[in-house]
Chain A
Amino acid sequence: MATHEIFMPALSSTMTEGKIVEWLKKPGDKVERGESVLVVESDKADMDVESFNEGFLAAVLMPAGGTAPVGETIGLIVETEAEIAEAAAKAPAAPAAAAAPAPVAATPPPVSAPPTPAPVAVPAPAPVAAPAPVASGRVVASPRAKKLASQHGVALDSLRGSGPHGRIQAEDVERALGLTVAVPRVAEGSGAAVVVAGTNGAAAAPAPAGEAFGRPGESVAFNTLQGAVNRNMVASLAVPCFRVGYTITTTKLDALYKQVKPKGVTMTALLAKAVGVALARHPQVNAATSADGSAMSFPAAVNVAVAVAMEDGGLITPVLANADKTDIYSMARTWADLVARARSKQLQPEEYSTGTFTLSNLGMFGVDRFDAILPPGTGAILAVAASRPTVVAGKDGSMRVANQMQVNLTCDHRTIYGAHAAAFLKDLAQLIETNPESLAL
Chain B
Amino acid sequence: MGPKLDAILFEAAQPVPFLQAWAAQRSLQQRLLAQPDGPEAVLLLEHEPCYTLGRGASESFLRFDPRRPPLPLHRIDRGGEVTHHAPGQLVLYPVLNLQRHGADLHHYLRQLEQVVIDVLAGLDLEGERIAGLTGVWLEGRKVAAIGVGARRWISQHGLALNVDGDLAGFAAVVPCGLSDRPVGRLVDWRPELTGQQLRGPLLGAFAQRFGLDLRPPNPQEGLQGW
Which A residues are within 8 Å of any B CB, using their own CB?
Answer: 11-15, 19, 21-22, 34, 36, 39, 41-48, 50, 111-112, 114-119, 344-346
- Counting from the closest, the 4 A-B pairs by CB-CB distance are A12-B106, A45-B105, A21-B56, A44-B80
Chain B 133-147 against A: per-residue CB contact (8 Å), 1 yes, 0 no? 110000000000011
When the two chains form their complex, are residues B132 and A119 in contact, meaning their CB atoms are under 8 A apart? Answer: no
Q: Which of A12, A15, A41, A118 contacts B79 (CB 8 A)?
A: A41
18 A-B residue pairs with CB within 8 Å: A11-B105, A11-B150, A14-B104, A21-B56, A41-B54, A42-B79, A43-B106, A44-B134, A45-B147, A46-B79, A47-B149, A47-B150, A47-B151, A114-B75, A115-B19, A116-B76, A117-B75, A119-B66
When the two chains form their complex, are residues A50 and B151 in contact, meaning their CB atoms are under 8 A apart? Answer: yes
Q: Which of B59, B66, B148, B152 contacts A50 (CB 8 A)?
A: B152
Residues of A within 8 A of B66 (CB): 111, 119
Residues of B within 8 A of A112 (CB): 67
A346 to B131, CA, bound (A): 7
When the two chains form their complex, are residues B132 and A344 in contact, meaning their CB atoms are under 8 A apart? Answer: yes
Which B residues are within 8 Å of any A CB, using their own CB?
Answer: 19, 53-56, 59, 66-67, 73-80, 104-109, 130-134, 146-152
Residues of B within 8 A of A43 (CB): 79, 105-106, 109, 134
A112 to B73, CA, bound (A): 13
Tell me if A's interface is mostly helix, strand, loop or mixed. loop
Residue of chain B at shortest CB distance from A215:
B60
A48 to B53, CA, bound (A): 17
Min distance, Cβ B116 to any Cβ of chain A, angstroms? 14
A50 to B151, CA, bound (A): 8
Min distance, Cβ B68 to any Cβ of chain A, angstroms? 10
A346 to B178, CA, bound (A): 14
When the two chains form their complex, are residues A44 and B73 in contact, meaning their CB atoms are under 8 A apart? Answer: no
Min distance, Cβ A308 to any Cβ of chain B, angstroms? 15
When the two chains form their complex, are residues A36 and B151 in contact, meaning their CB atoms are under 8 A apart? Answer: yes
When the two chains form their complex, are residues A39 and B106 in contact, meaning their CB atoms are under 8 A apart? Answer: no
A197 to B161, CA, bound (A): 33
Q: A12-B104, A21-B56, A111-B67 are in contact. Are A44 and B75 (CB under 8 A)?
A: no
Q: Which of A15, A19, A115, A344 contacts B74 (CB 8 A)?
A: A115
When the two chains form their complex, are residues B151 and A42 in contact, meaning their CB atoms are under 8 A apart? Answer: no
Min distance, Cβ B49 to any Cβ of chain A, angstroms? 16
A117 to B67, CA, bound (A): 14
Q: Which of A45, A111, A346 contacts B150 (CB 8 A)?
A: A45
Number of A-B residue pairs at CB separation under 8 A: 101
A118 to B67, CA, bound (A): 11
When the two chains form their complex, are residues B54 and A46 in contact, meaning their CB atoms are under 8 A apart? Answer: yes
Min distance, Cβ B72 to any Cβ of chain A, angstroms? 9
When the two chains form their complex, are residues B105 and A114 in contact, meaning their CB atoms are under 8 A apart? Answer: no
Q: A22-B55, A119-B59 are in contact. Are A44 and B107 (CB under 8 A)?
A: no
Q: Which of A13, A14, A22 contacts B56 (CB 8 A)?
A: A22
Residues of A within 8 A of B77 (CB): 39, 46, 48, 117
Q: Which of B53, B80, B107, B147 contacts A12 (CB 8 A)?
A: B107
Q: A36-B151, A44-B54, A46-B149 are in contact. Are A346 and B132 (CB under 8 A)?
A: yes
Residues of A within 8 A of B130 (CB): 344
Residue of chain B at shortest CB distance from A213:
B60
Interface centre among B56, B67, B80, B108 (most CB of A within 10 A): B56
Min distance, Cβ A207 to any Cβ of chain B, angstroms? 12
A12 to B132, CA, bound (A): 15
Residues of A within 8 A of B148 (CB): 44-46
Residues of A within 8 A of B76 (CB): 116
Residues of A within 8 A of B79 (CB): 21, 41-46
A157 to B189, CA, bound (A): 63
When the two chains form their complex, are residues A42 and B106 in contact, meaning their CB atoms are under 8 A apart? Answer: yes
A48 to B29, CA, bound (A): 13
Residue of chain A at shortest CB distance from B77:
A46
A19 to B58, CA, bound (A): 14
A63 to B111, CA, bound (A): 31
A50 to B134, CA, bound (A): 26
A119 to B69, CA, bound (A): 14
When the two chains form their complex, are residues A48 and B150 in contact, meaning their CB atoms are under 8 A apart? Answer: yes
Residues of A within 8 A of B74 (CB): 114-116
Min distance, Cβ B177 to any Cβ of chain A, angstroms? 9
Residues of A within 8 A of B108 (CB): 45
Residues of B within 8 A of A345 (CB): 132
A390 to B167, CA, bound (A): 53
Residues of A within 8 A of B55 (CB): 21-22, 39, 41, 46, 117
Residues of B within 8 A of A13 (CB): 104, 106-107
Q: A12-B107, A39-B77, A344-B130 are in contact. Are A48 and B67 (CB under 8 A)?
A: no
Residues of A within 8 A of B132 (CB): 344-346
A189 to B75, CA, bound (A): 38
When the two chains form their complex, are residues A344 and B152 in contact, meaning their CB atoms are under 8 A apart? Answer: no
When the two chains form their complex, are residues A44 and B151 in contact, meaning their CB atoms are under 8 A apart? Answer: no
Min distance, Cβ A85 to any Cβ of chain B, angstroms? 31
Residue of chain A at shortest CB distance from B106:
A12
